[in-house]
Amino acid sequence: MHPELLPVPGTGLQSLDLVRIREYLSTIIRDPDIPDDEDAWTRRLSGLGLLTGAVDGREVCTIAGLVLFGIAPRKFLPQAGLRVIVYDTEDKTYHTLLDTVLDGPLTGRYVTEANGTRALVDTGLIERFSEIISPFITLEQPALSDGFQRIKTWLYPRDAIREIIINAFCHRDWTRMVDIEVSRYVDRIEFISPGSLPNSMTVEKMVAGQRSPRNPLIVEMLRDYGYVESRGMGVRTKVIPLMRSENMTDPIFDATEDYLRTVLLRKK
């Protein structure tokens, strides 16, 4: 049994954002059978692995259900958040430019416009992280472009950062009672995903493209949304090539029994 399917005490159907889930069923995976009452929702979400039976017979959220679609996940699962710290130095100090913990479901909510395109109307944790970290990993040039816009320089590849933060949620150990942590220093950005690498995975195997998902339900649903690339080899096919081509360095991976730390060095 995967830890992502463990029950979260104190939760229930009311802890999930059914608007998001309805959009997932109808628009993302095009399921024609949308529940129309509480009992039907409970049966459907139990079948999906988003709800599970508790010891007292009630249906409660699984870790995956709360992390993906929870209204306020950290209220019941403190480690469901994402801590973002920005230092103006090369080392940890008491003074920070930003120190906050983000809470909310991983998934964004979209609507389909008349022309068939999908528009984001309610951000998820991944989009909120991107918004809050962007000012600290970019530089705006004083000169204007021909279109009278400020020219923005990214100090790290955007897609590499997105891939790493998504991987952290997909592969972290949910039994560890600590948040995923992102720390930006003046010369680098570090990502810490709680827990050791799953099964017999090593950094060498990960870099080579071997896959061993710890939380397959979270991976599959994020893949449905397009957050996760289809092959599941983002470190090898995206993070490493982007860092080499844009920052002229390799990412640094440090795996211990307690965490996987990924370091990206700032563009010179």
Spell out the domains of the chain, with CATH numbers in brackets. 3-71 (no CATH), 81-265 (3.30.565.60)
Handedness of CA 80, 218, 242, 140 (dihedral sign): negative
Q: What is the pLDDT of residue 167?
A: 93
What's the pTM? Answer: 0.90
Minimum mean pLDDT range among 77-81, 233-237, 261-265: 233-237
For 237, residues 6+ apart whose C-beta sits below 8 A from its C-beta are: 209, 229, 231
- What integer best gives the mean pLDDT of the chain? 92
Measure the CA–CA gap between 251 and 236, rounded to whole angstroms: 11
Count CB neighbours of 24 within 10 A. Answer: 22
Minimum mean pLDDT range among 13-17, 51-55, 192-196, 217-221: 51-55
H or E segment to which residue 166 belongs: helix 158-171
Q: What is the DSSP string of 29-67?
A: S--S----SHHHHHHHHHHHTSEEE-TTS-EEEBHHHHH
Measure the CA–CA gap between 228 and 230, rounded to whole angstroms: 6
H or E segment to which residue 20 belongs: helix 18-23
Minimum mean pLDDT range among 43-47, 198-202, 262-266: 198-202
Using CB atoms within 10 Å of the CB of residue 41, give its burial: 0 to 12 exposed, 13 to 18 middle, 19+ buried. buried
Q: Are 64 and 81 in contact (CB under 8 A)?
A: no
Q: Is the pLDDT of residue 207 over 80?
A: yes
Q: Are 222 and 165 in contact (CB under 8 A)?
A: no
The pLDDT tens digits for 105-128 are 999 988 877 787 778 889 999 999
Measure the CA–CA gap between 162 and 123, rounded to whole angstroms: 14
Q: 139 forms bridges with which residues in the sheet? A: 153
Nearest to 182, CA basis, from 137, 248, 151, 213: 137
For 37, residues 6+ apart whose C-beta sits below 8 A from its C-beta are: none
Q: What is the pLDDT of residue 146?
A: 61
Q: Which residue has the higher pLDDT, 5 or 151?
A: 5
